[in-house]
Structure 1
């Protein structure tokens, strides 16, 4: 039997703050995130973070921002008190990082907090303490330069149940380092220092120029990240997306190098994740994860950041437009790959960074082959290339021998070699060797031909009318009423994809035809996947993905096989086709199609110049 109902009563302010803390304060890392955001909003140019026991015993953050006047110190520790929101109009176009007015009082309710600050132009600093029971002491004079220091001790000392959920010191420190890393990536103009138990973990000077920004990225993400990065910067319909994409051939086994910022705020958003994954869908193996550092900028009124108390999530007012912009921008940059030059904006880091294969996650050793970005745009005119081959390979040559370069040296107009060079032979019946302007290019001929064939099949499929294959027996699928409505709403889209689907009452539909290219596919699974995409994303990504998989299989079977001998003219034709083809840097499975050994690499291998 249920007990007698308890009377309705007001909660104590201390309990209210602790409940709010449960939404905002999960671990030391979330405390650091809130306090660093406050420092950035205060105009800090340098932030210092000192820790003990992974931030549980002590987390101190000092900044050189504009500080807090003494008369506002106690107010800063009151709930729903903020200088960043004055009315509904401000809430609908939030431009600051912290704005809810919950962070400081929530943190103070589950720790022993000391707040010390000196306002710009003030004669002295002042300090207030909170005892963990919600009592705020009177301001006391203190020694402190202009700026603010927040000292948080003994996190969750008064909430033992919450403290039990904290992990080991190493784990909590790892989470906190990730927070500092994200802040350092989004604000290179702010100097950051992180110490733990007196040991320096990170000391990053402010960076305002491209070399400084690249040094910071290298310190935070490793040299390999930049060495494989493709720079991008695109703008349309009031949106701007810029940053770095790591080439698909150098993807990762974990999603640990994925950073996406919206108006300077690190977010985890399903719409963004879907758009990025869709852009990589036919250049990346499904078991691998892309790596990227991307910044999306849009008017504050077009994004709602007031969705989650910890501000991890956002909601776009024009979600479909944002999704398509991200998807198409990334897809276009991946299509250009390392064979297309992109002009960076003035002052931006160079997009032509050498692409070096990863070796155990560390910078590659000297002499390692690389893929270097080429000063060539897709679709450039090739009429300038003059090829003149005087003779063919001698008939008596062994099947596995490389054909000798008996042709006169062929060049483009002006004496320059084509971006991927001119073929000089074939190795083991697998690799095409080409002499380029600055060294040796090695091409996996099957992988390259597979990508070329795949892109041609996709183009032909996209240009032609989708052919349907009627089913001998319609497949009846039990669905929900909402899914029936989706079928009725998207009839034109389904027909355009070669699908004939008819509603049969409130909870069933009949699949009468599927795309001819997918003949033999599981019609029910295809439809259910498609309806899931329509329900979540409003598009038919699953059908496109299925068709892409079929086209990739066809391309693989049509590609030249290993140990197939090619003549010099055929090899050069393959190289020129690669230069014309989108996404030619990797095969359909995400593996590289070509690498380069520069003249410097070759000289180093043979100790020339020493």
Structure 2
């Protein structure tokens, strides 16, 4: 039985003009997805008003109450009703939608929130004799009345989504919604280090407790940003982050990016900003992944806080009502700047590894578990055992044979090297080196693997990637649009050994593939490139495959675990590590060495 076609009716549908309340509720579905969305819009309004202090109070994850107070320039009484109407804003005049200098500009946030909650706005403009207040519930706007406020604006939003109860069913737990609100505030706090932020949770009706506080920073931009990141991301991130400051063709990238050995198991510590606006953009995320692809395995993710500044006419922020997505006029330029800036910073870090590695090592040194205290009178009398420590062969048990690893005697005129001087080798894999203020433990296989890998990459960069011609070119069919997009990248692909040509409409011919990859499925390789072009706008997959092969070659060609090394070999390895970029981590992002300070070692033995 065929289902009836719902689009066919004997009566013509009537086209109606929706009323203002319905329009605002529909818009609220795009702008205000959850309490964190409302917080974001209100705090961004406060920042646009020039606030230097923003206080947020929430209750029940923002469902019952969201209160935002700021010390900005405020609004005059006559502007309050206008601010609650759709598409009313003081931030743009509508003549140029590309020259946007503020967080907000669409004029949708306040009327959308007022349509689905109970809102009260109290504000006092600079120079005004008194404050004014206005209330709105379920779209019904009340009159402007006198209010009590010394400065700035106070927005109170209660019973969010009470006018659209179906939306309440899609909210998560209070804990999850509170966490989402905290994440929004932290991102904005990173973008504005000179502004103070406070979050207070009054869910328990006890006056509230402060769950987050970030005081306004002082000093130059990098110092202020560094201190703000220390507050939000932790001291460990700040200690293991590299300063990023790069510029290319009018685009500027600043911020901090962590060492590869300070990686995370999920992409939870990646904060990206465009012209000060927190964004979640797949182009930028892809560029970040590409910059670290040579240092981290697929299941590890870098940590960073990066700020991309570009002329407003080169980026479109009017892509989505939530303004979390952007579109670049030249995405390749933005991606290339991020990749090159991060790779240069990582190269300049040399052999440096994160401090968390040594901290974890020290944490692994645990004292033996305490046993219940015993006293002599509680023990049965028994003869003392004979010590075998000083037994000579022929008396009792034979003394065990002990063969020490090769040791390197200290020399009086040894220079002070960053990774120290080798003193010995243990377990046929670990080099023990002495530094001026501590010791270093080196994984000889992992370290040499990275050294060989970097050498192979240098050779490939100098000599290029050899290509192998296919006996019979492989024809790969696709849409005309995909073929055109792929052929635009033909010159770049040819540089890494993949040669393609047009083959009629909607097809390409693969004539050569990178020789280092051996026998490959040319069609699968081309389709991987296409997928990456669709996802990121640029391709890195072939290059990544080549580097993966080089990594495997380096693994097989490096010093194996279980091999004894002479003193001069160990020292030569240490010196080469010091001179080679990225030698602080192996090809998979694991550390190649651990450094322990003498003060930490002495603390382990209670000598401080």
TM-score > 0.5 by shorter chain: yes
- Cα distance in 2 for partners of 1:324, 1:111 equals 44
Give the aligned partner of residue 214 of structure 2: 204
SS of the residue corresponding to residue 505 of structure 1 reads coil
Give the aligned partner of residue 52 of structure 1: 59
Bigger CA drift: 62-71 or 204-213? 204-213
- Aligned in 2, Cα 1:46/1:591: closer, same or farther, shift over 3 Å? same
Checking the alignment, whether the CA contact within 8 Å between 1:367 and 1:597 is kept in structure 2 is no
Task: Select which of 175, 184, 187 maps to 1:179.
Answer: 184
- Aligned in 2, Cα 1:296/1:15: closer, same or farther, shift over 3 Å? same
Tell me by how many angstroms 1:296 deviates: 1.6
The within-5 A match list for 1:14-53 is 14-53=21-60
Checking the alignment, whether the CA contact within 8 Å between 1:405 and 1:425 is kept in structure 2 is yes
- Aligned in 2, Cα 1:538/1:165: closer, same or farther, shift over 3 Å? closer
Checking the alignment, whether the CA contact within 8 Å between 1:227 and 1:356 is kept in structure 2 is no
Task: State the Cα deviation string for residues 209-228 of structure 1 (Å, max 9, x = none).
Answer: 47775554344223332233
Checking the alignment, whether the CA contact within 8 Å between 1:339 and 1:419 is kept in structure 2 is no
Uncovered stretches (5+) of structure 1, i.e. residues with no partner: 341-352, 369-397
Aligned residues: 560
- Aligned in 2, Cα 1:82/1:364: closer, same or farther, shift over 3 Å? farther
Give the aligned partner of residue 127 of structure 1: 133
| Counterpart check, 1:513 vs 2:512 | yes
- Aligned in 2, Cα 1:597/1:156: closer, same or farther, shift over 3 Å? same
Checking the alignment, whether the CA contact within 8 Å between 1:302 and 1:318 is kept in structure 2 is yes
Tell me by how many angstroms 1:487 deviates: 4.8
Give the aligned partner of residue 249 of structure 1: 261
Tell me by how many angstroms 1:238 deviates: 2.2
Tell me by how many angstroms 1:568 deviates: 1.6
- Cα distance in 1 for partners of 2:46, 2:262 equals 36
RMSD: 2.4
CA radius of gyration, larger in: 2
- Cα distance in 1 for partners of 2:148, 2:251 equals 45
| Counterpart check, 1:74 vs 2:84 | no
Give the aligned partner of residue 316 of structure 1: 328
Checking the alignment, whether the CA contact within 8 Å between 1:25 and 1:107 is kept in structure 2 is yes
SS of the residue corresponding to residue 250 of structure 1 reads coil
| Counterpart check, 1:154 vs 2:159 | yes
Tell me by how many angstroms 1:502 deviates: 4.1
Checking the alignment, whether the CA contact within 8 Å between 1:156 and 1:162 is kept in structure 2 is yes
Tell me by how many angstroms 1:507 deviates: 3.8
Bigger CA drift: 282-291 or 421-430? 421-430
Checking the alignment, whether the CA contact within 8 Å between 1:487 and 1:503 is kept in structure 2 is no
Give the aligned partner of residue 11 of structure 1: 18
Give the aligned partner of residue 239 of structure 2: 227
Task: State the Cα deviation string for residues 304-330 of structure 1 (Å, max 9, x = none).
Answer: 111111100111222211110111001
Tell me by how many angstroms 1:534 deviates: 4.2
Give the aligned partner of residue 356 of structure 2: 356
Task: State the Cα deviation string for residues 365-411 of structure 1 (Å, max 9, x = none).
Answer: 5989xxxxxxxxxxxxxxxxxxxxxxxxxxxxx99743222352444
Task: State the Cα deviation string for residues 19-40 of structure 1 (Å, max 9, x = none).
Answer: 1111100010000000000001
SS of the residue corresponding to residue 181 of structure 2 reads helix
- Aligned in 2, Cα 1:359/1:130: closer, same or farther, shift over 3 Å? farther
Relative to the length of structure 1, the TM-score reads 0.87
Bigger CA drift: 242-251 or 492-501? 492-501
Give the aligned partner of residue 347 of structure 2: 335
Uncovered stretches (5+) of structure 2, i.e. residues with no partner: 203-207, 367-400
Checking the alignment, whether the CA contact within 8 Å between 2:331 and 2:537 is kept in structure 1 is no
- Aligned in 2, Cα 1:497/1:114: closer, same or farther, shift over 3 Å? same
| Counterpart check, 1:326 vs 2:338 | yes
Checking the alignment, whether the CA contact within 8 Å between 1:451 and 1:586 is kept in structure 2 is yes
- Aligned in 2, Cα 1:199/1:579: closer, same or farther, shift over 3 Å? same
- Cα distance in 2 for partners of 1:359, 1:80 equals 54
- Aligned in 2, Cα 1:66/1:528: closer, same or farther, shift over 3 Å? same
SS of the residue corresponding to residue 165 of structure 1 reads coil
Checking the alignment, whether the CA contact within 8 Å between 2:194 and 2:224 is kept in structure 1 is no
| Counterpart check, 1:584 vs 2:568 | no
- Cα distance in 2 for partners of 1:466, 1:592 equals 29
Checking the alignment, whether the CA contact within 8 Å between 1:69 and 1:119 is kept in structure 2 is yes
Checking the alignment, whether the CA contact within 8 Å between 1:125 and 1:141 is kept in structure 2 is yes
- Cα distance in 1 for partners of 2:195, 2:498 equals 54
| Counterpart check, 1:438 vs 2:437 | yes
Checking the alignment, whether the CA contact within 8 Å between 2:482 and 2:530 is kept in structure 1 is yes
- Aligned in 2, Cα 1:367/1:317: closer, same or farther, shift over 3 Å? farther
- Aligned in 2, Cα 1:486/1:266: closer, same or farther, shift over 3 Å? closer
SS of the residue corresponding to residue 88 of structure 1 reads coil
Give the aligned partner of residue 372 of structure 1: none
Give the aligned partner of residue 95 of structure 1: 101
Give the aligned partner of residue 457 of structure 1: 456
Tell me by how many angstroms 1:593 deviates: 0.8
| Counterpart check, 1:106 vs 2:112 | yes
Give the aligned partner of residue 248 of structure 2: 236
- Aligned in 2, Cα 1:158/1:230: closer, same or farther, shift over 3 Å? same
Checking the alignment, whether the CA contact within 8 Å between 1:51 and 1:196 is kept in structure 2 is yes
- Aligned in 2, Cα 1:364/1:187: closer, same or farther, shift over 3 Å? farther
- Aligned in 2, Cα 1:437/1:406: closer, same or farther, shift over 3 Å? closer
| Counterpart check, 1:139 vs 2:144 | yes
- Aligned in 2, Cα 1:521/1:409: closer, same or farther, shift over 3 Å? farther
Tell me by how many angstroms 1:58 deviates: 0.7
- Aligned in 2, Cα 1:359/1:405: closer, same or farther, shift over 3 Å? closer
